Structure 1
Amino acid sequence: MRAVEFHEYGGPEVLRVVRTAAPEPGPGQVTVEAVWAGVNFADVKARAEGYRVTSLPHRPGLEVSGRIRAVGAGVTGLRAGQQVIALVDGGGYAEVVLAQAARVFPLPEGLDLRTAAALPTVLPTAHALVHEVGRLRAGESVLVHGAAGGIGTAVGQLARTAGAGAVYGVASSDAKADYALKHGYDEVFRPGAFETDVRRATGGRGVDLVLDPVGGDTLRRGLEALAVFGRLVSFGNAGGAEPWRAGQDELYAQGRSVAGFSVLGLARSAPEALRALTERALRTVCDGVVVLPVTAEFSLSDAADTHRLIGGRTSTGKLLLRIQ
């Protein structure tokens, strides 16, 4: 089979297409003949700086859609030939992908494989940020960093459906801001002064919920944008800065709180909770609540081009690799 790997860290050029034997499923596992694979910023960080990489060579890719090739011992409810989507902890850029059965989901009726490949990491994360962790209530306001990305696109729609009083975004360009405004956002700010803009837009009050994948100083400034009793959810460290920590001085006086979320962390620690979350999230697409546009697709051999696009911070929506 063909797969994309990197044998050293570096720019997109270190990605190479290799031919290798297809994996076989062990107990509790399945193999999926991938048709589509989602591309995420986490893949770029893995290639560039070893994010979540345990050894080299490494095969990136966190989400795929396709058909089950084989099932391992002890697997129930899944069968060869079944159309599925899967969340994997690496290995998605390949014609045959090994996945834990607990993270494999039958393709919901009415959903096509192309659309489904955009969902396994993005949609459960967005749902958790708005509902399970962020606990957004009707009438509350929310500020979302990365508003034009895949997660930001889904969050804007979910927040609007949840009855948010105002949905604010942060985006780095006019093009990204325009994109976000078409997907549920009321106003979009620039990263350099978002906390000041939030105070202006809210009459000095601040927002009830901040969703932050950037970390570092952006997280600190996000706390300053919170209203009394506001909540901040951290779900990444895309900026690569040293983690900034909040303590009593930042939280106690106005009853603010900080939480965190990682879909892969949940997959490892509480697979049944992940399964329930993913099933709830998928229903929002099947019901038409969320539309997640695929804004670009590339062949497997052109995986480096997807990384250049994401790494250049110019992409919007979701990018996919065509595997078969």
Structure 2
Amino acid sequence: MKAVIQQEFGSADVLTYTDRQIPITGENEILIKSAYTSVNYADIKTRTGKKGKGKFPFSLGLDVAGIVDTAPIGSTFVKGDRVIAFPKNGSYAEYVISDERLIFKLPSNLSLEKAATMPTVGILSYILFYEIGQVKTTDTIVIHSAAGGVGSMLVQLAKLAGVKKVIGTVGNLDKQEYVQNLGADNVYTYDTFAEMVMNETNTSGANVIFDSVAGDVTTNSLKCLAMYGTLVQFGNSSGKAGSFSTSDVHNSCRNVKGFSLGTTRKHAPERLAPVATKVMELFASGVIEIPVAKIFSLDQAAAAHRLMESRNYEGKILIKID
């Protein structure tokens, strides 16, 4: 089969399009013929060595949309089922294997291309919004990196839920119209959002802030987080750790919650199936859609990474495999 692997950490140039053996399934595992995979910021961190990974060579990729090729006897899946999944050893390949608990059957009216935009960002966003952030309709919320995959999903979930005020942040205001079209009431840059949030809320601050950027964005988020508010921290795309003092939270009764989809896939996979079902229903009905920024072929994986690193895109970057 064709696959993209890397033998060392480095720039996008380390990604190599090559031949590999089709993986062999183990107990409770299913072989999937890949149709699409998405590019996520975690792929960039892993490629550059900023996030731990196994021995070289390895393949990147968190999720896949495809067709079941081989399933064990007694499985709830059969050959030909259309699915999304979180594969075992990367997804930049024509065939992948996945634990049955991390595979979800698609509704008949949801295309593989649309489905490919949702496994990581859709399931993650739903959990962040409803379980971790526990957003209420009366809240004012801030969504950082609102033009990215998770941000695009969070804005739409908030709009769908009727949240009072939805504020998005972006690195460049060229993306302002895109985020507002998704449902955000206002859009600001990372440099100005803290002051603008305080102005908009008559200095009371935002009730929930979703932070995947970290670094200075985390520090500034605490400057505009309301009393009893919640900062939801789920990434550090800035490459810098966010920081806060205990005095930032106990006096004001505020809290900081963290969440990792990767940790949950590994330690509590059973939490994902109910969420996947709800998210697939939203996508199948057309109520929510994550726009596709660009689709690359598998041999163009390096170009897909360069586009993500440029941050000059809106929505989700996909790789078409078959």
TM bucket by the smaller chain? Answer: over 0.9
- Which residue is 2:277 aligned to? 279
What amino acid is aligned across from residue 62 of structure 1 in structure 2? L
Q: How does 1:14-53 map to 2 (within 5 A)?
A: 14-53=14-53
Gaps in structure 2 of 5+ consecutive residues: none
Deviations 1:233-258 (A, max 9, x none): 001111221352542x1111111111
What amino acid is aligned across from residue 147 of structure 2 in structure 1? A
- Which residue is 2:208 aligned to? 209
TM value normalised by structure 1: 0.96
- Which residue is 1:255 aligned to? 253
TM value normalised by structure 2: 0.96
Deviations 1:100-121 (A, max 9, x none): 1111111112100011111110
CA 1:66/1:220 → structure 2, altered by over 3 Å: closer, same or farther?
Answer: same
For 2:258 and 2:304, locate their aligned partners in 1 and report how far apart those are by CA, in whole Å. 28
CA 1:89/1:202 → structure 2, altered by over 3 Å: closer, same or farther?
Answer: farther
CA 1:72/1:52 → structure 2, altered by over 3 Å: closer, same or farther?
Answer: farther
Deviations 1:168-187 (A, max 9, x none): 01101122222111111111
- Which residue is 1:164 aligned to? 163
**Offset, 1:163:** 1.6
- Which residue is 2:220 aligned to? 221
For 1:52 and 1:105, locate their aligned partners in 2 and report how far apart those are by CA, in whole Å. 27
For 1:267 and 1:171, locate their aligned partners in 2 and report how far apart those are by CA, in whole Å. 28
For 1:212 and 1:302, locate their aligned partners in 2 and report how far apart those are by CA, in whole Å. 30
SS in 1 for 2:143: strand
What amino acid is aligned across from residue 152 of structure 1 in structure 2? G
- Which residue is 2:176 aligned to? 177
SS in 2 for 1:176: helix
Q: Which moved more, 1:279-288 or 1:314-323?
A: 279-288
- Which residue is 2:4 aligned to? 4
Deviations 1:151-182 (A, max 9, x none): 11110010111121000011011222221111
Contact 2:143–2:209 (CA under 8 A) maintained in structure 1? yes
Matched, 1:145 2:144: yes
Q: How does 1:280-295 map to 2 (within 5 A)?
A: 280-295=278-293
Contact 1:26–1:72 (CA under 8 A) maintained in structure 2? no
Q: Which moved more, 1:311-320 or 1:280-289?
A: 280-289
For 1:246 and 1:269, locate their aligned partners in 2 and report how far apart those are by CA, in whole Å. 29
- Which residue is 2:67 aligned to? 67
For 1:149 and 1:196, locate their aligned partners in 2 and report how far apart those are by CA, in whole Å. 23
For 1:319 and 1:182, locate their aligned partners in 2 and report how far apart those are by CA, in whole Å. 19
For 1:57 and 1:197, locate their aligned partners in 2 and report how far apart those are by CA, in whole Å. 47
CA 1:258/1:188 → structure 2, altered by over 3 Å: closer, same or farther?
Answer: same
For 1:52 and 1:285, locate their aligned partners in 2 and report how far apart those are by CA, in whole Å. 32
**Offset, 1:89:** 5.2
What amino acid is aligned across from residue 127 of structure 2 in structure 1? A
Q: Which moved more, 1:62-71 or 1:235-244?
A: 235-244
- Which residue is 1:236 aligned to? 235
Contact 1:33–1:66 (CA under 8 A) maintained in structure 2? yes
What value does the CA root-mean-square deviation take over the aligned residues? 1.4
SS in 2 for 1:31: strand
Alignment identity in percent?
32
- Which residue is 2:190 aligned to? 191
Q: How does 1:112-127 map to 2 (within 5 A)?
A: 112-127=111-126
Count how many residue pairs are aligned between Structure 1 and Structure 2: 322
For 2:4 and 2:116, locate their aligned partners in 1 and report how far apart those are by CA, in whole Å. 17
Deviations 1:274-320 (A, max 9, x none): 11222222222223321111121010000111100000111210011
Deviations 1:2-28 (A, max 9, x none): 000111111111111110110121101
Equivalent of 1:311 in 300, 309, 312: 309
